[in-house]
Amino acid sequence: MKLKQRHWILILLFLTFIISRSLISTKSSNFSDDNSYFVMRQIEHISTHGKPLHQDTLSYGGRTFIIMPLYYYLMGFMYKLFPSIIFLKIINNFFASSLIFSAYLISAKVIKNRRIALFCSVVASSLPIYINETLNRLNPYSIITPAAFLILWLFLELDENKLNYLIPLTIVFILSSSASLVLIVGLISYIVYSYFENKKIEKIHFEYASFFLLFFLWVSFIIFKEAFQTHGFVILFHNIKLSLESINLIGVPLILLGLYSVYIYSSKKKSIFMVLVISLFLSNILFIWLKLVPKNTLIFVGVYLVLLMGQTIKDFNSYLSSSKMSKYSTLIMGSLYALLVFSQIAPSFFLHEEVFSDRYLEGFEWLKENTEINSTILSVPIEGHLITYLSKRKNIADSQTLLVDYQKRTIEITGVYNSPFKTKILNFLNDYNTDYIILSDKLSSLNIKIQDTIFFSDPCFELIYNEEIKVFKRCEE
């Protein structure tokens, strides 16, 4: 097949993204969040033992991990071929950059304007929240985000031939993340709406949606059976805290332009493709509000808003072309594109979180060499995986919340750091057989300031490491 101009543009954009992403992410072998170090533990365990780490003696002092395994197996295989964190970062960004292709395909199908679809694919691939989650972090969203929108495109183009690609891709998607739930619900909502609007529903669409739902339920039952037996339906709820930062990571102009299409195509105009996108968008928002899916699925929300924004731009362009301002349409549209580039794309490479500094991580490596092997170390939960990966020591809590009482331990840890009473602190440390306490700027995640703790002033706590993190050793009673 001869490549057309738009294909070469897409390839050039893909290369631009992968090169720029790799240049930024490979400046350091450090990551920008602690969960990436949990992923590294799984990757290293798979590359060594051929299976994920299931029974862990370090996290929460000993617990069971339950994960959707495919992403970890893929990265574990890559790590076995070339055991380098820098290499993993490049591979991760390679997958993340492929969103440019699937975003273009679904945009062109839904909006039916290739030029706008190209622009939408660039905006989608440059979403601040997407860059933030995939540039210097290891997580499945670098794979499942491109896969999700390729699945949507194949669904809209579905025939017997494309079904041969869609089924394997769906299996990969489900086995990579439980976030696939929002896509299933969105597709089912679309089919239900089409039925009530007397729209023709192809048999193959109904069969595929049924397969998607049943396979997801079957896999979830097998993988999370133990979790359901232990905690019941409580495991469905995630610890989500949304803030104004979440809006900034999507972009105010994108939200406004996207919501305009939601309003217009929900009340005035009719488009079956817009109905699908709006169904997916509203389902995702609802599930985040109900805390049924992780906060990371805001990435999907962002891309849905890009598709809705593209439709708004197309409608606005059509309006300009038929109005008295038609002779200025090129200038106006060019200004609009420039505004969106400035407000959406440019901030993406500035709003992403910086990687952990070497000096910060050196403190955790110091703990490995200067504490007893069976030690338990107290820190805020978002430093828990740094203790298990770098220090090789037990933590009291971390960001993996399944099959543990995360809320209880977070409340207890907050109480310890806030407490002015030595007796209360020592009782807690005794309960968890803990001898070492970490203080760092990450205490702000619990709304605590280092200087407000009693560890510096009470002689029962000895400062044994005083760099970017502070390590205290408790006294003997």
Q: Do residues 362 and 305 share a domain?
A: no
Range from 290-304, 324-338, 436-450, 461-475 carrying the lowest mean pLDDT: 324-338
Find the mean pLDDT for residues 106-131.
93
Alpha-carbon span 328 to 320, nearest angstrom: 8
Q: Do residues 306 and 363 share a domain?
A: no
Q: Which of 423, 437, 420 is nearest to 474 (CA)?
A: 437
Q: Do residues 15 and 136 share a domain?
A: yes
Cβ–Cβ under 8 Å, residues 301 and 250 = yes
Q: 461 - beta bridge partners? A: 474
Cβ–Cβ under 8 Å, residues 34 and 383 = yes
The answer to whether residue 273 sits within a structural domain is yes
Instruction: Provide the sign of the torsion angle of the four alpha carbons 138, 141, 147, 150, taken in this order.
Output: negative
The answer to whether residue 200 sits within a structural domain is yes
**Boundary of a domain, candidates 318, 351, 384:** 351
Q: Do residues 336 and 450 share a domain?
A: no
Q: Do residues 331 and 387 share a domain?
A: no
Residue 55 in this model has a pLDDT that exceeds 80: yes
The answer to whether residue 440 sits within a structural domain is yes
Q: Do residues 118 and 259 share a domain?
A: yes
Computed over every residue of the chain, the mean pLDDT equals: 88
Q: Do residues 259 and 309 share a domain?
A: yes
Find the mean pLDDT for residues 290-294.
79
Q: What is the pLDDT of residue 477?
A: 61
DSSP 253-272: HHHHHHHHHHHHHHHT---H
**Boundary of a domain, candidates 320, 351, 382:** 351
Q: Tokens 């499942």 label which residue?
A: 144
User: Which CATH number covers residue 395?
Assistant: 3.40.50.12610
The answer to whether residue 169 sits within a structural domain is yes
Alpha-carbon span 415 to 195, nearest angstrom: 53
The answer to whether residue 57 sits within a structural domain is no
Q: Do residues 312 and 249 share a domain?
A: yes
Q: Do residues 216 and 310 share a domain?
A: yes
Alpha-carbon span 132 to 348, nearest angstrom: 8
Alpha-carbon span 407 to 403, nearest angstrom: 12
Alpha-carbon span 197 to 224, nearest angstrom: 37
Find the mean pLDDT for residues 39-47.
96
403: which residues sit within 8 A by CB, 6+ positions away?
Answer: 63, 64, 66, 226, 227, 230, 231, 235
Alpha-carbon span 72 to 88, nearest angstrom: 11
Instruction: Provide the sign of the torsion angle of the four alpha carbons 446, 463, 57, 432, taken in this order.
Output: negative
The answer to whether residue 419 sits within a structural domain is yes
Tens of pLDDT, residue by residue over 360-419, are 999 999 999 999 999 999 999 999 999 999 999 999 999 887 777 788 898 999 999 998
Range from 427-431, 450-454, 469-473 carrying the lowest mean pLDDT: 450-454
Tens of pLDDT, residue by residue over 212-221, are 999 999 998 8
Alpha-carbon span 372 to 470, nearest angstrom: 18
Tens of pLDDT, residue by residue over 139-153, are 999 999 999 999 999
Q: Do residues 364 and 470 share a domain?
A: yes
pLDDT band per the 50, 70, 90 thresholds, residue 40: very high
Q: How many structural domains is the chain composed of?
A: 2
Q: Do residues 387 and 251 share a domain?
A: no
Q: Which of 301, 253, 247, 312 is nearest to 278 (CA)?
A: 301
**Boundary of a domain, candidates 305, 332, 351:** 351
Q: What is the pLDDT of residue 242?
A: 57
The answer to whether residue 90 sits within a structural domain is yes
Q: Do residues 253 and 106 share a domain?
A: yes
Q: Which of 428, 406, 366 is nearest to 59 (CA)?
A: 406
Cβ–Cβ under 8 Å, residues 251 and 127 = yes
The answer to whether residue 36 sits within a structural domain is no
Q: Which three-class secondary structure state does DSSP give residue 412?
A: helix
Containing domain of residue 393, as a range?
358-474
